[in-house]
Structures are given as structure tokens and as C-alpha cells.
Amino acid sequence: MALVGYARVSSIGQSLEVQREKLLEAGVDAELIYEEKKSGLDSERPQLKEALRFVRKGDTLLVSRVDRLARSTADLYRIVDDLEKKGVGFQCIDQPELDTTSKYGRLMFGILASISEFETGLRKERQMDGIAAAKVKGTKFGRKVQLTTGVIATISKMRSDGKLIRDIMAETKLSKATVYRALSDRSVDIPIVSYI
């Protein structure tokens, strides 16, 4: 039953000393403190991944502050849920109510999970409202249309002039599939050319 610490600062110039001291005072062995000097927005946090791989059933992961571990409530809940599945506790030194080794702490995380789910629902609702408002204003979604009537006519003319598909692709900067799709489009009058 080991105490494992995780400390992170957002930039190389910042010091981990304050977090390290708090973890040592809480009883974490210096060798079991995983330290990271990376942005919380950077999803590649190798030291956190290593700490999460290292912990075993009965261990407890400690951080000085919750924002050192997670970028959002949802991220925190996901990490703590993964720890709980392994039988590992979680404690936050500066926020003692965030302690999954106690009944009260587990209750707090249950509340956090509900808040996280609520936030996700609100975010989706706002997104859908924004999309609906944009559609009312006539905003187009998706990829820009490449095959306009003019482009189709140009490609058809180039082909009827005897140009090779690869040459048409090079000149129009369109893919082979797009060029063939343009050539198969019957909505544009294509001049009939005799090759006899």
C-alpha cells in the first residue's frame, strides 16, 4: 500500500518544489513522485501515464492540487474512475474533501460526476442551439463544394480536347475520383467529340 505522488507545472521555467514538498510532507517517498513540466492542455503526459501504470490495488495517488492532475471535471472523473477500477485511492492535499479513500470523499466524487455529466449536457445543448441558429442564418456546413457547374464544364472540355486524366488532375488540383465524378456528371452539356 504505497503512496504515489504526481506533480506538474505548465512550463519549463516553473518550479515543482512546492508541490514536491507537500507530497513529501504527506508521506510520499521521493522515489515515488512522478514529475512533469508540460502544459495541462498537452494530452501527452508520460509521467502521469507512468504513475497510473505503476499504482496497484491498495495504493493511493496524491496530488497537491486537483488542477495539477486534470484539465476539466470530466478529465478528473475519468482518471479517478480508472483508479477506482484498479482499487487505487485518490487524495488531493489542498482539497481534503477530494479523497476517495473515505466515504465523504467518494460522495464528493459522485457529485462531481453528476456535475460533469450536467456540464457535458449543457455544452451539447449550446452547440446544438448554435448550429440551429447558424442554419437559420443560412450558414453552410461541411466541406466546400469542389465540383461546381463551371469546374465540371472545364474538366469535360479538357477531356474532350484529349487531355489525359493525370494532366487534368494536375491542372485542376483535384483527385482522380473527383475528376471521374465530374466526367460522369450529366447535368452539364458536354460537347460530343468524335475520335474517328
Query: Which residue ranges form the domains of the chain, and what is each CATH number?
Result: 3-115 (3.40.50.1390), 143-196 (1.10.10)
CA 35 from chain centre, in angstroms, equals 22
Confidence band of 51 (pLDDT split at 50, 70, 90): very high
- The reported pLDDT for the residue numbered 195 is 44
pTM: 0.59
Residue that the C-alpha cell 449543457 belongs to: 122
Gap between the Cα atoms of 65 and 84, Å rounded: 19
Catalytic-labelled residue, pool 10, 43, 64, 156: 10
Q: Which residues pair with 36 in a beta bridge?
A: 8
The three cell numbers of residue 73 are: 471535471
Q: Give, in degrees to the nearest 5, the angle at Cα 103 between 98 and 109.
A: 40
10 is catalytic: yes
Task: Kindly report, residue by residue over 1-32, the tens digit of the pLDDT.
Answer: 899 999 998 877 788 999 999 999 999 999 99
Mean pLDDT of 70-79: 83
Average pLDDT, the chain: 86
Q: List the strands of the sheet with 89-92, edge to edge.
A: 33-37, 3-9, 60-63, 89-92
Up-side HSE of residue 118: CA atoms within 13 Å toward CB?
A: 6
For 103, residues 6+ apart whose C-beta sits below 8 A from its C-beta are none
Is 190 a residue whose pLDDT tops 80?
no
